[in-house]
Amino acid sequence: MAGGSIILEPKQMFQTLQDMEKATQDLLKLIQDVTEILEAVSVLTFAFGFGELIKMAEQAINQVGNAVVAANNAFNSACKDVVNQLVDKFASEGAKSDYSSPPFVEVTIKINVADRAQIEPSQMRNSFDNHQQKNTQVANKSNDMRDIYRQTSNFWVGESADKTRSSFESKIVPEFENLKSTLDQIVSKGLEWIEDTVKFEASLGV
C-alpha cells in the first residue's frame, strides 16, 4: 500500500470502513436535525445576542460537516489500494469498493433582526429540551467516530496510518469540541433568557 502503510487484517479493515461510513451518515443526520431545531428556535426570538450565537452554531455545523466527510474520505482513500485488491474476495461479506461520502452541503440558518427583546418561553423551552438531547447524541456519535479512528491501529500500521490518525485528532476532534461548546452555549443562554422573561412577566402580573 502507498505511503508505507500496511493492512494486517483485511476483514477488520472492511468492517471499519463500513462503521466509519455509517458513523459519518449518522453524524450528518444528527447535525441536520440540530440545524432544523436551531432554525425553529431562531424565529421565536428577537433577543439581543441570540442571532450571533445562531451564526456561530451555523459556522461550527458547517465546519464539522465538512470535517467528518473529509475524515471518512481520508480513511477510505488511504485504504483504496488494498480495497481494490481484496473487494472481490470479500464481496460475499458485504465488502464494496467505495465507502466515501459525497461533499457536505453547507447550511444557512435564518435569524431575526435583534431590534427588540422578545421570547416565546413555552415554545422555546420545548425546543431547547429537544436541542439538548440532540447535542448529547451529536457528542456521543462524535466519540464513536473518534473510537473508530483509534481502533484502526489494530490493523493499520505505518507512517501514513499514523499521520492520518494524528491528523484526525489534531484537526477533526477540535471541530467536534467547538461545535459541542457552541451548542451548549445556545441552550444555556436560551434557558437563561426564558427564566428572565418568566420572572419579568411575573413581576408585571402578566
pLDDT tens, position by position, 148-161? 999 999 888 888 88
pLDDT per residue, tens digit, the chain (206 aa), is 445 566 768 888 888 889 999 999 999 999 999 999 888 877 766 566 777 888 899 999 999 999 999 999 988 888 877 776 776 777 666 668 788 899 999 999 887 665 555 566 777 788 888 889 999 999 999 999 999 999 999 888 888 889 889 999 999 999 999 999 999 988 888 787 777 766 766 676 65
Whether 6 contacts 152, CB under 8 Å: no
Whether 61 contacts 75, CB under 8 Å: no
Cα–Cα distance for residue pair 31/15, rounded to 1 Å? 24
pLDDT at 118: 57
DSSP letter (8 states) at residue 103: P
pLDDT at 51: 79
Rounded to the nearest 5°, which phi and psi values hold at 156? -120, 110
pLDDT at 38: 87
